[in-house]
Amino acid sequence: MDADRDGFTLCASTADLSQESAARDHADAVEFRMDLADEPTGALQSYDGDLPLIVTNRASWEGGEAEDLGRYDELTDAVAHDAVVAVDIELAALRGNAPDGEQPHAVALRETARDEGVTVIASVHDFESTPEADVLVELLADAAAEGDVAKLATTAEVKADALAMLAATHRASEAGHDVATMCMGEAGRHTRAVTPVYGSLISYAPIHSGAATAPGQYDLATLRRLLDGLGVE
């Protein structure tokens, strides 16, 4: 994966890199949730798996468990690792809409990542609702302006929310943006398999059922089967 890449990536999300071998049959990459790992830097330094890594150190104010600015130091070290092909940075941090002190660190991390040839995923998470399609399209455009891939995950309460995400995904993709989109929650669960049909370039799944890192995720093997059935490659 790089800033000029084509094609779809199925990403196995985990806080335990020793599980990488269990993901190889179904995943194209591993999202390493550093904020959920006990010793993320050490785990990354010893990683010798086959799958490339997306590193995420999600802030507590965006639904993760990283509590302070030290997460940027960990991510800066991570993007220098040969296996790391992408880094997830919250759009709010890049745009200055996050807690005090976040923006300079986020912008510096983005520049370091690009110097290393690492793709920047600018992400937005809404754990309460799904705005209307026009708002979603604007969010994706904002994220695409700050990163190489615009990631948007919202919470679907009704089926209409899922339809809004599908429409926004199609419109943003047709506008030339690289996007990764999904709805969290049961009402939007199917979007994890369907948004790639409309242009989403990345889907995420836990390696094993019961190990979800976000609400409404399918396990990896199930999502791979659904994507294959829809002809997503």
Query: Domain of 119: which CATH number?
Result: 3.20.20.70
Q: Is residue 91 part of a domain?
A: yes
Q: Is residue 136 part of a domain?
A: yes
Report pLDDT digits (tens) over 182-217.
Answer: 999 999 999 999 999 999 999 999 998 777 777 788
Sheet with 9-14, side-by-side order of all strands: 179-184, 149-155, 119-125, 84-90, 53-56, 29-33, 9-14, 202-206
Catalytic residues, which ones? 125, 151
Task: For residue 219, give its domain range.
Answer: 9-223
Mean pLDDT along residues 90-95:
98
Q: What is the three-class DSSP state of 53?
A: strand
pLDDT at 216: 80
pLDDT at 209: 78
Count of domains in the chain? 1
pLDDT at 231: 95
Is residue 155 a known part of a binding site? Answer: no
Mean pLDDT along residues 43-50:
97
Characterize 105-135 residue by residue with b for buried, 16 or more Cβ atoms within 10 angstroms of its Cβ, and e for exposed.
bbbebbebbbebebbbbbbbbbeeebbebee
Is residue 103 a known part of a binding site? Answer: no
Q: Is residue 3 part of a domain?
A: no
Q: Is residue 231 part of a domain?
A: no
Is residue 217 a known part of a binding site? Answer: yes
Report pLDDT digits (tens) over 15-33.
Answer: 999 999 999 999 999 999 9
pTM equals 0.95
Q: Is residue 229 part of a domain?
A: no
How many whole angstroms separate alpha carbon 175 and alpha carbon 62?
27
